[in-house]
Amino acid sequence: MGYTPRAILYKLLYRMLRAYWFVFRPKVRGVRCLIECGGRFLLIRQTYGDMRWTLPGGLVKRSEEPEKALRREVLEEVGLELSELRPLGAFTDTKEYARDTVQCFWGEPAETELRIDPDEVYEARWFGVDTLPEGQSRHLAKVLDLYFEGLASSRDQ
């Protein structure tokens, strides 16, 4: 699978954005969604960044609510509408120099047919919890921790 001209542009712009974050260390807000269907999770590899398996999501616009941003990002990246959405929690990440507060959600899709945006998403696949791939992003690990902590605490109640 090759890169589209726009995907190459995204790769370049992402590098420029990281340089900006390195110099200015801004506060940004992001969202990620653990989309589950039939006991399987949807993971993606983006055309930019480190190409590790991660979750659909992205940056929240200035006056946008996190849930609305998440629905927008999921629709843009993989073409899915979410029929159900629940908050999992949040974490802060400074690995890429910005102070990124990431709101995390669990979602269930209204349908499972993926319509991938090849400019942003290199690959998207469904994985069982016991067959998650190698090469996972740190964001994926953090969201899975929030998910499993929530499952454990709901069983304890």
Helix, strand or coil for residue 79?
Answer: coil
> Token pair of 99, please?
């102070």
Query: Going from the N-terminus, what domains does the chain have, and what CATH number goes with each?
Result: 5-156 (3.90.79.10)
Does the pLDDT of residue 2 top 80, yes or no? no
pLDDT digit string, tens, across residues 18-69: 899 888 889 999 999 999 999 999 999 999 989 999 999 999 999 999 999 9
Per-residue pLDDT at 83 exceeds 90: yes
Question: pLDDT over 90 for what percent of the chain?
Answer: 80
124 token code pair: 């998207």
**Residue in 30, 18, 32, 16 with CA at minimum distance from that of residue 97:** 18
SS3 83: strand
> pTM of the full predicted structure?
0.89
pLDDT 10s digits, 104-118: 999 999 999 999 999
Q: How many degrees, rounded to 5, is the angle at CA 104 between CA 27 and CA 71?
A: 95
